[in-house]
Amino acid sequence: MLRSKKNTKGYVDHYNDTRLNSTIGYITPKNILAGHQQKIQAACDLKLEAATEQRKNRHQQDARPMTD
């Protein structure tokens, strides 16, 4: 019985504290309840913008003609 409770607690803790939930924007339920959703989403948006800019710059560099 004790092992079953421990396993269940481990699953619930993982689900609430670690697992990113796609239904709520890939944020953990714990962070939603703590009110961190906007802060986390803003940080993700900044990372996405930076990655988009890097990809754009890399594409422009690859498109340049080679000079001798």
Q: Are the beta carbons of 11 and 3 closer than 8 angstroms? A: no
- Residue 26 makes CB contacts below 8 A (sequence gap 6+) with 20, 44
d(CA 18, CA 27): 9
Q: What's the pLDDT at 68? A: 61
Q: Cα separation of 30 and 18, whole Å?
A: 9
Task: Say what the pTM is.
Answer: 0.65
- Does 5 have pLDDT greater than 70? yes
- Which tens digits make up the pLDDT trace of 14-39? 999 999 999 998 999 999 999 999 99
Tokens of 11: 């699953």
Lowest mean pLDDT among 22-26, 29-33, 44-48, 51-55: 22-26
